[in-house]
Structure 1
Amino acid sequence: MTQQHEQHEQLSATLLLVDDEENILKSLCRQLRHEPYEILIANGAEQALQLLNQKSVDLLISDARMPGMDGATLLTEVQQRWPECVRILLTGQADLSTTIKAINQGRIYRYISKPWDDEELRLTIRQALAFQHSERERERLEQLTKEQNQRLQELNTTLELRVRARTEELQQTADMLDLAYAELKRSYVTATEVFSGLVAQRIPRDKQANSQVIALLRAYCEHHGYDENMSRDLAMAAALYNLGKLTWNDNLLRSPADLLYKTERERYRQYPVLGESLLMSLEPLQDAARLIRHHQERWDGGGFPDRLKGETIPLGARLLKLAVDFVELQCGLVLERRLSRDEALLLIQKYSGKLYDPQLCERFVVLCTELAPDLALADPSILAVDTRRLEPGMLLARNLNAENGTLLLNEGKQLSRALIDKLIAFEQSEGARYTLFVRPAPQTSITSQDAV
């Protein structure tokens, strides 16, 4: 504490002197007349209590022996009613019991023996006031600390609530973005399949292979537990693998690859590169575009366009080649003669290790054999149902294409009564009959006997 601050505290101190002897009071006042205190005097305990009721007192000096209420009793009363007031007892040699009482019950700061030493008296008062000041400062700081801690706790609670609310808000936003992004990715798959139907309009109906390639690859991915990204990229690549053929004339589109002459063969070898270049500007389709570029590479390195070999060929591209060749062999797009399903599988097995990845080839042949004659029916939960047996709530397990190859409904679509009625009306207008592969609605009454 600085000297200026200490002096300020002393100037603000009020002292109460209590003694029944007037000369003692005068002597005390005389000793303190040069000290910067406000001095109050009382000639007995009763008067002292009255003054204490009227005014705040910092320090009280009381004589031990007084008529009526003695000093020890007065200091005990003061301690109980004004505990912040510092208490000092003036006592003689014969007042030991009074002094003990003052110490034990009045909890006095000090006692001063009569006759007192003037300098010691003044020093004792200064020390008592300094002690009082330090106690008040301690209590003030404790209270301030308590208030600050309380405010800090309130701020922390508020901050935690705000952080929690903000975190929940951000999580909700992130979840919404995830859902939006997932929906966007699904919409890209649907869009590619719709566009695949448009591409198919350039190709004769009996040579349209995209929908069958898509179904094959989707079944393979589901059967072998491929992740969502791989399955999605393969589905988009299957839908658009022949996009580069759009620049061909009708004759080239109908011609089997094995019968093409030199110029046409060179053009044929460029269609995977052209298909990739048409899709590379679309970021979500870049991985699918890479599969399209390499789906005509061969396991032995004799393919095109980059003559990749073995496992340097992307896995999806190796699988796409198997599905494309299997379907196109049956469509007459590879050899002059159309092959049956079994013939196509035997030819694929023959070229395992040359054109195809041996392990993938084996799995692919097993899958096609086990799922014959229809891939969708390998799953017992999938039913083949005509339009008049459809029920609201059923989910499409496979894309529905019109007879001209146009995508009517995409896989995963939930059927409603209005949609079923539209399908029936569409059948009547087209003069066609459609079979849909569906998963039953919950608690549906459809059984395997209803399947067609």
Structure 2
Amino acid sequence: MNETLNILLVDDEPNILMALRRLLMDEDFGVLTAESGRVALDLLRETPDVGVIVSDQRMPGMTGVEFLEQARGLVPDALRILLTGYADMEATIAAINRGGAYRYLTKPWDDQVLLMTLREAVTQVRLRRENDRLTQIVNRQNEELRQWNGRLKSRVLEQTAEIRKKNEELRTKNSRLKANYRDTIGALSGLLEMRAPHMRNHARNVCALAMGVAAAMDLPEEGREELQVAALLHDIGEIGTPDALLRRRAEDLHGEELFTYLQHTVRGQMAIDAITDLRGAGLLIRHHHEHFDGGGYPDALQGSAIPLGSRIIALADFIDRNLPRHDERAADLVLIQLQPHLGSRFDTSLYPYFDTVVREHYGPPVNAQGMVPRLAQPAELYCGMVLNEDLFSSTGLLLLSRNAVLDDQAIAAIHRYHELDPFRRGIAVLTPR
């Protein structure tokens, strides 16, 4: 579990490599450096035990994305991290799609964030290697059981107990990997929303509405997971849309501007198509602006030809975009505004499910009766408090949604976020009288 593991740092600036070496000198992993992508590739051929690769994006001769794409073929199991500037969003997406990037960090980096990211990456590589080792053990022991069956009953029972233990460890580690996958999707969604502050928390609201409807309709688990990813990433195609168009309503666009905007659903599908497990979600993203009467885009699908998940996201997207926020009657008003579009733009059969879910999601906090609002510091939080507002970091990332009931895990996470990016004001909560 704690075998020697090397990380490879790639940057064309020697002073940056020296700074990174100093930062990492006390860590429990080896550090290798290279001043270009080609030198790094040669090093990977000679040192295949590299577990983590950190590469700058802007390098002469070979960009970080190009290097990570080739490095993926040499050490496919290594986690790849891209160092990039805020302006390199296209490079970031390319690193995820082509280079299989695990994370990206912005330059200049924060030392503590960089250290935490590298430690987590090293831990994950070690867990994965341990996972592989345990799998080999399980396979070998299963073969031994087949050979010893009938001769060493006591030995069989002993090995069965060991196998169960190892399988439980594997399930735990696989659950952790799956949770990391969900967290990555959520983080990417939050990053996309930072581009348009007026739509902050939009994707999470759409996801919450869609998942509430999916639960009410008792959709299969596999379909719910696909819907969840699509709802969180439904606007990913807007990355390629000019800011000037995003600030205007689609109804006010014409000609070439309208055509450019309407392509964001196709771009959204294409952005994640390279990831096999996300292709189903990509199809839902493509069609979430189709109209039930066939008047939508990009393919003018009609009725049941539109995927059910796309029809659900379409309704949720409309509701959250048109919600009259800061109005106590918000849920009632947006549902009234929705009704003229039923049967033409939206699937009428979905309305009863949304009626209940919308009132629950945008209504008063759960169990808020008898509670009073206040601003609390992280050290004052305790279990049972309810968030009275969405909780954002000082840099604008959504951390927890309104109505969340605080437990030990949530409070620990808030303390961790506060250490990384201290809150500028108190946390809006509801507390018992």
TM-score (norm 2): 0.53
**1:189 matches 2:182:** yes
Distance 2:319 2:334 in 1: 6
Distance 1:424 1:358, change over 3 A: same
Distance 2:324 2:362 in 1: 17
Instruction: Say whether the 8 Å CA contact 1:193–1:407 is kept in structure 2.
Output: no
Partner residue in 2 for 1:390 = 381
Structure 2 counterpart of 1:302, one-letter code: G
1:422 is displaced (CA, Å) by: 5.1
Partner residue in 2 for 1:259 = 252
1:331 is displaced (CA, Å) by: 8.0
1:340 is displaced (CA, Å) by: 5.4
Distance 2:193 2:297 in 1: 24
Partner residue in 2 for 1:415 = 409
Question: Secondary structure of 1:316's match?
Answer: helix
Partner residue in 2 for 1:329 = 322
Distance 1:378 1:313 in 2: 38
Instruction: Say whether the 8 Å CA contact 1:217–1:320 is kept in structure 2.
Output: yes
Of the three residues 237, 248, 263, the one matched with 1:244 is 237
Partner residue in 1 for 2:432 = 449
Structure 2 counterpart of 1:401, one-letter code: F
Partner residue in 1 for 2:341 = 351
Of the three residues 366, 374, 379, the one matched with 1:377 is 366
1:433 is displaced (CA, Å) by: 3.6
How many correspondences in the alignment? 278
Of the three residues 203, 207, 217, the one matched with 1:214 is 207
1:315 is displaced (CA, Å) by: 1.8
- What is the aligned-residue identity percentage? 28
Distance 1:368 1:308, change over 3 A: same
CA RMSD of aligned residues (A): 4.1
Distance 1:422 1:207 in 2: 22
Distance 1:416 1:289, change over 3 A: closer
Structure 2 counterpart of 1:215, one-letter code: A
Question: Secondary structure of 2:399's match?
Answer: strand
Distance 1:178 1:386, change over 3 A: farther
Moved more, 270-279 or 407-416: 407-416
Of the three residues 393, 397, 406, the one matched with 1:406 is 397
Distance 1:222 1:287 in 2: 19
1:244 is displaced (CA, Å) by: 0.5
Distance 1:294 1:420 in 2: 37
Distance 2:357 2:383 in 1: 32
Distance 1:397 1:227, change over 3 A: farther
Of the three residues 288, 307, 314, the one matched with 1:295 is 288
Instruction: Say whether the 8 Å CA contact 2:201–2:398 is kept in structure 1.
Output: no
Distance 1:393 1:226, change over 3 A: farther
Distance 1:164 1:200, change over 3 A: same
Distance 1:261 1:356, change over 3 A: same
Instruction: Say whether the 8 Å CA contact 1:241–1:275 is kept in structure 2.
Output: yes
Distance 1:157 1:257, change over 3 A: same
Structure 2 counterpart of 1:244, one-letter code: G
Instruction: Say whether the 8 Å CA contact 2:393–2:417 is kept in structure 1.
Output: no
1:241 is displaced (CA, Å) by: 0.8
Question: Secondary structure of 2:151's match?
Answer: helix
Question: Secondary structure of 1:301's match?
Answer: coil
Question: Secondary structure of 1:306's match?
Answer: coil
Question: Secondary structure of 1:246's match?
Answer: helix
Distance 1:413 1:404, change over 3 A: farther
Question: Secondary structure of 1:202's match?
Answer: coil
1:249 is displaced (CA, Å) by: 1.6
Of the three residues 316, 333, 353, the one matched with 1:363 is 353
Instruction: Say whether the 8 Å CA contact 1:377–1:383 is kept in structure 2.
Output: no
Distance 1:262 1:318, change over 3 A: same
Distance 1:248 1:161, change over 3 A: same
Instruction: Say whether the 8 Å CA contact 2:241–2:264 is kept in structure 1.
Output: no
Distance 1:275 1:167, change over 3 A: farther
Distance 1:331 1:189, change over 3 A: farther
Question: Secondary structure of 1:365's match?
Answer: helix
Partner residue in 2 for 1:125 = none
Structure 2 counterpart of 1:237, one-letter code: A
1:236 is displaced (CA, Å) by: 1.8
Partner residue in 2 for 1:311 = 304
1:181 is displaced (CA, Å) by: 3.3
1:392 is displaced (CA, Å) by: 6.0
Distance 1:371 1:200 in 2: 20
Instruction: Say whether the 8 Å CA contact 1:297–1:309 is kept in structure 2.
Output: yes
Moved more, 357-366 or 238-247: 357-366
**1:180 matches 2:173:** yes
Instruction: Say whether the 8 Å CA contact 2:209–2:354 is kept in structure 1.
Output: no
Distance 1:387 1:430 in 2: 11
1:209 is displaced (CA, Å) by: 1.7
Distance 1:231 1:397 in 2: 28
Query: Considering only CA atoms, is the larger Rg found in Structure 1 or Structure 2?
Result: 1
1:271 is displaced (CA, Å) by: 0.9
